[in-house]
Amino acid sequence: MKVIHAKDYNDMSRKAANIISAQVILKPNSVLGLATGTTPIGAYHQLIDWFKKGDIDFSQVSTYNLDEYRGLSHDDPQSYHHFMRENFFDHININVANTHVPDGSNPNAEEACSEYDKIVAAAGYPDLQLLGIGNNGHIGFNEPDDHFSKGTHCVNLTESTIQANSRLFDRIEDVPRQAYTMGVQTIMYARMILVIASGAAKAQAVHDMCAGPVTPSCPASILQLHTNCVVVADEEALALL
């Protein structure tokens, strides 16, 4: 695990965007694993800026997002389908047909998850997987548990995640209670993993991810076993390390 210190959120975002940009320049048909949440927005906006300046070309890139709320249509403003279009895909020259997010609108969890596993496997798994980290150490929506998950599956969100995500909804009751998420094993298949973290609320999780025991009670801790994992975090997120 390589830990890169960033001064603040903007510095973290630029450093992460630089790494993603280098990946796409080196391999124009890269398979990127992407994440939602507040943390990656700055990196996406930086990449959009470089795209507009002609520095980066996404025409051959394909993307696979980590997760999606169960029960939301693709057009729901709270869905991760919508988030990705609004914050990234609508502003770059990616072929929309090459962008993938688990199908939260399919109520048949088993079918939605196994189909997603098939398409991620058929793509050969991401060259680079971007990850945020939850305050409780979750990656994707793989919540603390007594075992590490494997493929895409349906999860019940923990109270702490519902609480953390409620800031993006009008009322806490509106936060979906379930999600489809790539499993930890699938995440570990990525050839490179880039974790980004910002702010004091992430400090304990970043400490446990990098320096705690490898345990499913902090799902991100398994990244210590990945051979090519880079963490870019700002001063507040690194405060306990």
Active site residues: 67, 136, 138, 143
Least gap, CB of 104 to ligand PGA (angstroms): 16
Closest CA to 139 of 72, 188, 172: 188
Smallest distance, ligand PGA to C-beta of residue 171, A: 18
Which CB, 39 or 65, lies closer to ligand PGA? 39
Within a 10 A sphere around the Cβ of 158, how many other Cβ atoms?
16
Rounded distance between C-alpha atoms, residue 153 and residue 174, angstroms: 22
Residues 3-42 contacting ligand PGA, CB under 6 A = 37-39
Q: Judged by CB, which is closer to ligand PGA: 113, or 137?
A: 137
Q: Rounded to the nearest whole angstrom, what is the least distance from the CB of residue 39 to ligand PGA in the complex?
A: 3
Comparison of 29 and 155: residue with beta carbon closer to ligand PGA: 155
User: CA–CA separation, 36 vs 132, rounded Å?
Assistant: 8
Number of residues that bind ligand PGA (CB under 6 A): 6
Quick one: 57 or 168, whose CB is closer to ligand PGA?
A: 168
Q: Is 134 in the site for ligand PGA (CB under 6 A)?
A: yes
State the alpha helices, DSSP H only, in the chain.
9-26, 41-52, 80-87, 109-122, 159-165, 184-188, 203-211
Contacts of 80 (CB under 8 A, 6+ apart): 36, 65, 67, 68, 69, 101, 104
Q: Which amino acid is at 189?
A: Y
Instruction: Quote the CA–CA distance of 110 and 77 in Å, as a whole number.
Output: 25
- Interface with ligand PGA, residue 132, by CB under 6 A: yes
Would you say how long the chain is, in residues? 241
Nearer to ligand PGA, 37 or 104 (CB): 37
Minimum separation from the CB atom of position 36 to ligand PGA (A): 8
Tokens (6 digits) for 94: 């990616």
Yes or no: say if 65 and 102 are a contact pair by the CB < 8 Å rule: yes
Map the footprint of ligand PGA across residues 64-123, applying CB under 6 A.
Answer: none
Q: How many CB atoms lie within 10 A of CB 2?
A: 8
User: What is d(CA 61, CA 124) in angstroms, rounded to the nearest whole number?
Assistant: 13
Q: Least distance to ligand PGA from the beta carbon of 235, Å? A: 16
Q: Site residues (CB under 6 A) for ligand PGA?
A: 37-39, 132-134
